[in-house]
Amino acid sequence: MAWLVLIVSGVLEAVWATALSRSEGFTKLVPSVVFAITVILSMCGLAYAMRDLPTGTGYAVWVGIGAVLTVGYAMLTGEEAVSLVKAVLIVGIIGCIVGLKAVSH
């Protein structure tokens, strides 16, 4: 259960990061509200998952999921340029996330 909550929390991290960018310094209401709600849910999920998972592993997986999804979404929407190097590095992060899951107890 902790892993599922951690994955959902990582997805929410990507949502709040994107909403934070779109809030334009908290000057836009809807993205600001989305940010506030999802950052709270994401942190609560991370805290819950870390009751059963090692701190370093939980945090690294949470950040990794959020980073991969945030960059991936930005590239899909054209906010960031797509490049082969970025794609390879994202695959590397995914590999590290899977590796951390595989070696955790």
pLDDT tops 80 at residue 105: no
Neighbours of 88 (CB within 10 A): 9
Instruction: Report pLDDT for 104.
Output: 78
Q: What percentage of the chain has pLDDT greater than the value 90?
A: 93
Q: Please report, for residues 28, 29, 34, 84, 95, the alpha-carbon distance to residue 40 in angstroms, rounded to integers and kept in the order given.
A: 19, 17, 10, 34, 27
For residue range 22-67, list pLDDT tens digits in order.
999 999 999 999 999 999 999 999 999 999 999 999 999 999 999 9
pTM here is 0.90
Measured CA to CA, the distance from residue 79 to residue 71 in angstroms comes to: 9
Closest CA to 68 of 33, 18, 30, 103: 18
> Six-digit token pair at 21?
């960018």
